[in-house]
């Protein structure tokens, strides 16, 4: 039987470090392991296909369901040199789900000391159930209260990191708003959530002032609007209007035959003239399907700067609001059309009543009848003062109706016009809000790092690290992910510039304190929705997806978007947190690309069934060896090997099982 004490890269984290195995009656099983592999100087040789990461670069998460301090101790015993403190719950914590704030000053100091003694690197995962960073929910659209709650959870994690860790990434999910996968295209790369997604899923427009959703359209929906006079329908095509504009066949014109551009401002658009159908005695309408709406959108965008361009959902909302504004304006005009005439009649009746009363009041009692005679003469009829008063009341009520109906219609039209001017897409509005939240978090991370760097011995800058997450939500696709981080950095630069930082300094600080977390397991869940090309075999489709995933990951790293990596595996269906290499992600190729770009910050995210095995198995996948006397072993061979068996210690029974009083000097559990 073999009993040994093995020193391997725990806190040493150096593949060139090796210790001897204390051999007692060496078992043939271990002699059958891979043969020793040393160079001419006696130094161990790393296999050609090995990836040169150690436990200093490749760490593991703490147990988010237990005590963080105890979880740290456990990870130290397992030999990790890097840990990510993970928290599941937002708000107030409990014993099963602690939060960053569940650990007080003394416990934070204990964590800090353990990290220092064991020379460990750190990162922190903010509560994973935080709200959309943009503050979006399906009922209310965007709101500041929800956004502030998301920011609060990130700040709690930053505070914890500033006082309890060595610095590093503050990870939180990009979980912004639902959008159809079918709308995301990249060359010949397409995704689809379900068969009719591209037709059924609505695209929304919002009010940029309030963030409230105002209209939504899907590809299978049509919109109607009045059919307007054009230069062609009025016989003016090829001629010039009074301002010298050459009129084309489909150009809109006003009542004077002057050009109304397709991208005219709001007020000018309401000078268009609807076409009246004399036979049907109504105004003609036109139906716009998605293709026509898309064509109108492209026409509208011609000549506009990129930031002013709109999408079909915005065009749809604009048309809907144009119809509502026309209705309100028409209602106002309808009710106000006889206003001047009725106002004149009211004034005339009031004057007669006043003159009658004045005359009658100045006549003696016996001659008051003369006022009635005067009134008959004045009106040319036998109308009485009572009839006159009834007329006055009628005209007064009629004018009140005009005031209330027409004025309210004008108010409605004004409100609709203001909303019309502020129509924007959900993505434009949301991205600005997301960027602002991340930028505020980045600024806070910078301040906490500056304050605590010397006080608590922070080795690495604290930076906020948004993570690609749920593929159904905006922020998970590489395009969206890239855009969110770029916008966030731009926003942080603006904030720093307002604090008198130079442009160059502000950009460096923004890039230092905002860097993304790329989760390869989350990205792999796009696999299920990846669309095959016509004629492609399943193998070819898989090959194309793997290339897309690896290329996109590498581009994000090369562009400086990513600073932190999460490693876990799955089969493309759900985020199961399998041990890297145990699913269908081309993990070794991914890790080689990360190594090529000198990525030094990787965290293995464990699941429920691989808490103690994920790290050694991942290091074994990389080819990271453990060296002993005259032999080289993989990490998982040491981890799983007990008394000549390749099996965890809890399978050992009877006389082979050590007593409960016996432990290894490292306290590392046998299993």
Among residues 162, 188, 158, the alpha carbon closest in space to that of 172 is found at 158
Q: Where are the alpha helices (DSSP H) in 559-659?
A: 587-596, 614-622, 635-640
Instruction: Please say whether the beta carbons of 271 and 254 come within 8 A.
Output: yes
Instruction: Please say whether the beta carbons of 50 and 622 come within 8 A.
Output: yes
Q: Which residues pair with 204 in a beta bridge?
A: 216
pLDDT of res. 644:
47
Can you tell me the distance from the alpha carbon of 273 to that of 229, in angstroms, rounded to the nearest whole number?
5
Helix (H) or strand (E) holding 121: strand 121-125
Compare 371 and 101 and report the one with higher pLDDT.
101
Residue 665 CA neighbour count, 13 Å, CB half:
5
Can you tell me the distance from the alpha carbon of 266 to that of 313, in angstroms, rounded to the nearest whole number?
18
**257-263: average pLDDT:** 87
Q: Is the pLDDT of residue 367 over 90?
A: no
Helix (H) or strand (E) holding 363: none
Mean pLDDT of the chain: 85
Angstrom CA distances, 480 to 181, 222, 312, 427, 486, stand at 12, 28, 19, 10, 10
Q: Is the pLDDT of residue 17 over 90?
A: no
Can you tell me the distance from the alpha carbon of 458 to that of 78, in angstroms, rounded to the nearest whole number?
24
Percentage above 90 pLDDT, the chain: 54
Instruction: Please say whether the beta carbons of 122 and 115 come within 8 A.
Output: yes
Count CB atoms within 10 A of the CB of residue 78.
19
Can you tell me the distance from the alpha carbon of 10 to that of 491, in angstroms, rounded to the nearest whole number?
41
pLDDT of res. 38:
54
Q: Is the pLDDT of residue 667 over 70?
A: no
**107-134: average pLDDT:** 92
Can you tell me the distance from the alpha carbon of 203 to that of 219, in angstroms, rounded to the nearest whole number?
9
Q: What digits encode the pLDDT tens for the residues 519-570?
A: 999 999 999 999 999 999 999 999 999 999 999 999 999 999 999 999 999 9
Instruction: Please say whether the beta carbons of 77 and 612 come within 8 A.
Output: no
Dump the DSSP string for 129-179: T---TT-EETTTEE-HHHHHHHHHHHHHHHHHHHHHS--EEEEEEE---B-
Give residue 482's pLDDT band: very low, low, confident or very high (50, 70, 90): very high
Instruction: Please say whether the beta carbons of 268 and 221 come within 8 A.
Output: no
Angstrom CA distances, 102 to 62, 409, 545, stand at 15, 56, 42
pLDDT of res. 392:
84
**227-249: average pLDDT:** 92
Instruction: Please say whether the beta carbons of 456 and 116 come within 8 A.
Output: no
8-state DSSP, 500: T
**224-248: average pLDDT:** 92
pLDDT of res. 499:
95
Q: Which of 211-225, 321-335, 444-458 has the lowest mean pLDDT?
A: 321-335
230 phi and psi angles, rounded to 5 deg:
-120, 170
Percentage above 70 pLDDT, the chain: 85
Q: What digits encode the pLDDT tens for the residues 51-97?
A: 888 889 999 999 888 889 999 999 998 889 999 999 988 888 887 88
Instruction: Please say whether the beta carbons of 4 and 22 come within 8 A.
Output: yes
Helices 538-558 and 587-596: angle between axes, nearest 10 degrees: 20
Count CB atoms within 10 A of the CB of residue 544.
17
Instruction: Please say whether the beta carbons of 207 and 215 come within 8 A.
Output: no
SS3 236: coil
**665-670: average pLDDT:** 55
Residue 504 CA neighbour count, 13 Å, CB half:
0
CB under 8 A, 24+ apart: contacts of 451-458: 451/162, 452/162, 452/163, 456/112, 456/162, 456/163, 457/112, 457/116, 457/166, 458/162, 458/165, 458/166, 458/167
Torsion of CA 545, 548, 549, 551, to 10 degrees: 150
Q: What is the pTM of this model?
A: 0.81
Does domain 51-176+426-622 fall under CATH 1.10.1040.10? My reply is no
pLDDT of res. 475:
95
Torsion of CA 9, 12, 16, 22, to 10 degrees: -60
Among residues 296, 306, 232, the alpha carbon closest in space to that of 262 is found at 296
Which runs of E-coded beta strand occur in 472-582?
516-519, 562-567
């Amino acid at each position: 039987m073999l009993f040994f004490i093995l020193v391997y890269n725990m806190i040493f984290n150096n593949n060139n470090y090796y210790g001897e195995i204390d051999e007692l009656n060496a078992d043939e099983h271990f002699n059958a392991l891979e043969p020793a592999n040393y160079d001419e100087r006696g130094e161990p040789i790393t296999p050609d296909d090995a990836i040169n990461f150690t436990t200093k670069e490749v760490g593991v998460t703490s147990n988010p369901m237990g005590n963080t301090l105890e979880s740290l101790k456990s990870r130290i015993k397992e030999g990790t040199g890097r840990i990510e403190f993970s928290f599941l719950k937002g708000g107030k914590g409990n014993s099963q789900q602690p939060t960053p704030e569940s650990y007080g000053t003394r416990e934070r100091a204990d964590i800090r000391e353990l990290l220092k003694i064991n020379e460990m690197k750190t990162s922190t995962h903010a509560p994973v159930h935080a709200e959309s960073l943009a503050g979006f929910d399906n009922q209310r659209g965007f709101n500041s209260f929800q956004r502030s709650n998301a920011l609060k959870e990130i700040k709690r994690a930053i505070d914890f990191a500033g006082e309890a860790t060595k610095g590093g990434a503050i990870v939180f999910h990009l979980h912004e708003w639902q959008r159809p996968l079918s709308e995301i295209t990249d060359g010949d790369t397409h995704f689809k959530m379900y068969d009719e997604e591209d037709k059924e899923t609505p695209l929304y427009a919002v009010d940029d002032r309030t963030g409230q959703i105002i209209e939504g359209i899907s590809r299978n929906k049509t919109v109607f609007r009045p059919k307007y006079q054009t230069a062609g329908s009025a016989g003016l095509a090829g001629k010039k209007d009074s301002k010298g504009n050459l009129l084309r066949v489909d150009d809109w014109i006003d009542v004077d035959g002057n050009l109304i551009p397709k991208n005219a401002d709001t007020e000018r658009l309401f000078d268009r003239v609807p076409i009246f159908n004399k036979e049907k005695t109504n105004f003609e309408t036109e139906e716009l399907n998605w293709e026509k709406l898309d064509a109108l959108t492209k026409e509208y965008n011609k000549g506009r700067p990129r930031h002013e361009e709109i999408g079909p959902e915005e065009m749809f909302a604009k048309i809907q609001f144009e119809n509502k504004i026309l209705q309100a304006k028409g209602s106002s005009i309808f009710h106000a059309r006889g206003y001047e005439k009725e106002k004149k009649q009211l004034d005339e009746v009031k004057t007669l009543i006043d003159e009658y009363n004045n005359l009658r009041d100045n006549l003696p009692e016996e001659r008051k009848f003369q006022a009635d005679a005067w009134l008959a003469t004045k009106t040319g009829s036998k109308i009485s003062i009572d009839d006159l008063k009834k007329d006055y009341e009628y005209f007064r009520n009629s004018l009140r109706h005009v005031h209330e109906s027409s004025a309210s219609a004008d108010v409605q039209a004004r409100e609709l016009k203001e909303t019309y001017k502020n129509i924007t897409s959900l993505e434009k509005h949301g991205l600005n809000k997301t960027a602002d939240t991340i930028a505020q978090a980045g600024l806070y991370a910078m301040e906490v790092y500056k304050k605590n760097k010397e006080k608590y011995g922070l080795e690495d800058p604290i930076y906020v690290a948004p993570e690609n997450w749920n593929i159904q939500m905006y922020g998970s696709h590489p395009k969206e992910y890239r855009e969110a981080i770029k916008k966030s950095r731009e926003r942080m630069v603006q904030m720093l510039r307002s604090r008198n930082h130079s442009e160059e300094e502000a950009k460096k600080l923004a890039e230092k304190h905002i860097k993304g977390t790329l989760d390869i397991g989350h990205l792999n869940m796009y696999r299920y929705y990846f669309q095959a090309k016509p004629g492609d075999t399943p193998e070819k489709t898989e090959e194309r997806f793997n290339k897309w995933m690896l290329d996109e990951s590498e581009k994000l790293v090369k562009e400086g978007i990513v600073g932190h990596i999460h490693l876990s595996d799955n089969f493309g269906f759900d985020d199961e947190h399998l041990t890297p290499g145990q699913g269908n992600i081309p993990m070794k190729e991914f890790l080689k690309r990360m190594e090529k770009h000198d990525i030094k910050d990787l965290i293995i995210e464990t699941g429920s069934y691989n808490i103690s095995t994920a790290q050694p198995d991942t290091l074994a996948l990389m080819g990271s060896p453990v060296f002993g006397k005259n032999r080289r072993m993989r990490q998982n061979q040491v981890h799983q090997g007990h008394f000549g068996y390749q099996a965890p210690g809890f399978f050992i029974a009877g006389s082979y099982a050590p007593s409960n009083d016996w432990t290894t000097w490292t306290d590392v559990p046998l299993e």
